[in-house]
Every structure is written in C-alpha cells, then in structure tokens.
Amino acid sequence: MLFDPVQIKQLTIKNRLCMPPMCTYRAVDGVANFFHNAHYGTMINYGVGLVIIEATSVDPNGRISMEDMGIWDDKHIAPLKGIVDYAHENNTVIMIQLAHAGRKTAKNLPQVGPTNEAYPNYLAPTAMSVADIQALVSAYKQAARRARLAGFDGVEIHAAHGYLLHSFISPKSNTRTDEYGGSESNRLRIVQEILAAIQAEFHGAIGIRYSAEEYIDDGYHIDDYVRIAKTMVEWGIDFIDVSSGGIHPVSIEVQPGYQVPLSHAIKSAVDVPVFAVGLITEATQAEDILTAGYADMIQVGKALLRDPGLPRRWAKELGATLELKSPLNYPNL
C-alpha cells in the first residue's frame, strides 16, 4: 500500500510516503537558495511522493530562527517556484507549511501570543490585539496567494508544537476573554478565519498540522482534538496531519509509532486523509499502519534525513515498484 497512489482532494500522489516539514535553518532573509534546491531536490530524486516544505513564516517577525524560510514578500516566490517546478517535472506533489512561531519566535524578534503569558523560559509575549489578529489573517492570505503563484499543490497550516495557532487553540495558553478566547469556538476562531482567507486565494489542497495530545492535565487531549477534527472538516479542511506536544515543556517517552494511535483516533472520526508521523522507521511498520487503516499517508522525518535512499530501499523490501529516473534507475545499482 505504501507505494500505491493516494488521492487528496484533486491531487493524485504517486505513493504514500511523505517528507514532513522540517526546518533546515539555511535561508537568508527567508529566501530559498541552492541549499534548499539540493535538499528538497534530493527527496524528489529519490522518490518521495509528497514533499512538505519546512515551516515557512508568513511574517518576518514569526520566525523560529533568523534562518527560517519565509513567504512574507513577493521576492520569496521565484526561488520557491524553482523547487516546485522541479517537483512537478518529477511527478512529485509538493506543499508548503505556513507558520508563525508566536510565543516561540526567535529571541531577537518580538514575541506575540494570545496573552502576555510566556512559554516557560521564553520571553514574555505581547498579547495580540484584534487588529494584530486581523493583520495576521491577511498575512496568511498574502502567503496563500504567493504559494499559488509559486505553483504549490497544497498548503499546510502549522497549528502544532506550541507555535502561534496552537497557543490560541489550547485552553492551557489561551485565557483571553474576548471573541478569540474562552469557549472552544472562540479559541478556534483565528484558525477558522485563516483557513477562510487561504481558501479565498488558494485552490489546491489545504490541510492542518496540529498536536492531538498536549500531555498536560489542564491541556487538550485526543478526544478534544477528535472533536476539533470534525469541526475543521465542516470548515472544508482537506487533510489532517497529526503530531503532538509542544504547548508546555514536558518530556514524554517516545517509542516507534508513538503518535499513530492519535492518527488512528482522528481517522476513525473523519473522512478526509489523515497523516501519521513520529518514529516510523521501518518499511513493514509503515505498511502495517496503512493496511490497519490507522492513516492514509506516512511521514518519515529524521530517518529520511539520515538516508535519502530510504524510499528506494523500502520499495525493494516491500517488493513494490518505485519509478525513479537516471541514474537511480540503473538496474545494477
């Protein structure tokens, strides 16, 4: 199944192996350069079906580090388009993760959040005013327009790992008392508005990555995120990428496939494609997750960084065919 095609909205993806968004800290002023061409080009060459470009900031003040990728200016479009065109020449679907770091923004940039409460051991943020929220929504809208012009097949809204949108969703970090805080629908309002703004500009697949377990008693848990998944599907989200943690510093014991039960719970509740991620490092493990119906897409992060030849190796192990171009298709390789 791993090397069988899958459909997300109007996109047909040649296999179910996805490179998840992973920051590389190599951009200057947010602009993609030769490093990014080589890095993403390698994944494209080696046969990954779907590449999701790393967290890319919609605002220069939303970067995790000064070397983050950016999409806050039209100058970012052309270098991204080069990577997108190369993906398309090689029958690879390519998306971009749209991000704002919020309370976890780089130390030399201003921090913002739902309130002025800091993420532990980080700088105190400024609580966003309604005008700030409106400006953020329009930054996402402009980013979506640029993603369309760059030719991306999809965008992923980054609402995981304690970054800005996660900090609005979670009752742990969002104690606002206006229309962007309090009830769940109020805490979700910023994401709903951002999704609508993106939908107005971008007609490919639009998904979300969120942390479906926050690992703290006064935070949100999988049952809450199953409910949120249903709400987001009503809004028109096209896929859900299921991660966990990051709203509060807690150490968790990770083991192979530790987040798969979360994808499974969400997949059981909604009809859109669901992505699994987190220590999926073996071909048979990936295949088993798909055949059990726990997810529709398998994301492999660190293992792919260690070994870009992984798709080819896994295809051999599973006896599947993976279409590659010269020289990777040499029979005696």
Q: How far is the CB of 329 from ligand FMN (least distance, A)?
A: 26
Helix (H) or strand (E) holding 98: strand 93-99
Q: Judge contact between 180 and 229, C-beta under 8 A.
A: no
Residue 27 binding ligand FMN, by CB under 6 A: no
Task: Please list every residue from 120 through 159 that binds ligand FMN, using CB under 6 A.
Answer: 158
175 three-class SS? coil
Helix (H) or strand (E) holding 235: helix 222-235
Helix (H) or strand (E) holding 7: strand 6-8
Neighbours of 292 (CB within 10 A): 10
DSSP letter string over 137-157?
A: HHHHHHHHHHHHHHT-SEEEE
b/e code 205-232 from CB counts within 10 Å (16+ = b): bbbbbbbbbbbeeebbebebbbebbeeb
Residue 20 binding ligand FMN, by CB under 6 A: yes
Q: How far is the CB of 130 from ligand FMN (least distance, A)?
A: 27
Amino acid (one-letter) located at 68: D
Nearer to ligand FMN, 181 or 257 (CB): 257
Task: Please list every residue from 195 through 234 that binds ligand FMN, using CB under 6 A.
Answer: 209
| Residue, CB closest to ligand FMN | 301
Nearer to ligand FMN, 38 or 130 (CB): 38
Tell which one of 301, 307, 309, 318 touches ligand FMN (CB under 6 A).
301
Nearer to ligand FMN, 91 or 307 (CB): 307
Nearer to ligand FMN, 15 or 115 (CB): 15
Task: Please list every residue from 96 through 125 that binds ligand FMN, using CB under 6 A.
Answer: 97
Number of residues that make up the chain: 333
For the chain, what percentages of helix, strand and coil (3-state, to nearest 5) are there? Answer: 40, 15, 45
Task: Please list every residue from 35 through 74 that binds ligand FMN, using CB under 6 A.
Answer: 54-55
Residues that bind ligand FMN (rule: CB under 6 A) add up to a total of: 20
Nearer to ligand FMN, 122 or 258 (CB): 258
Q: How far is the CB of 161 from ligand FMN (least distance, A)?
A: 6
Task: Please list every residue from 160 through 199 that binds ligand FMN, using CB under 6 A.
Answer: 160-161
CA distance 123 to 225: 28
Amino acid (one-letter) located at 238: D
Amino acid (one-letter) located at 220: Y
Q: How far is the CB of 286 from ligand FMN (least distance, A)?
A: 10
Residue 302 binding ligand FMN, by CB under 6 A: yes
Residue 279 binding ligand FMN, by CB under 6 A: yes
Q: Which residues contact ligand FMN by CB under 6 A?
A: 20-23, 54-55, 97, 158, 160-161, 209, 243, 277-280, 300-303
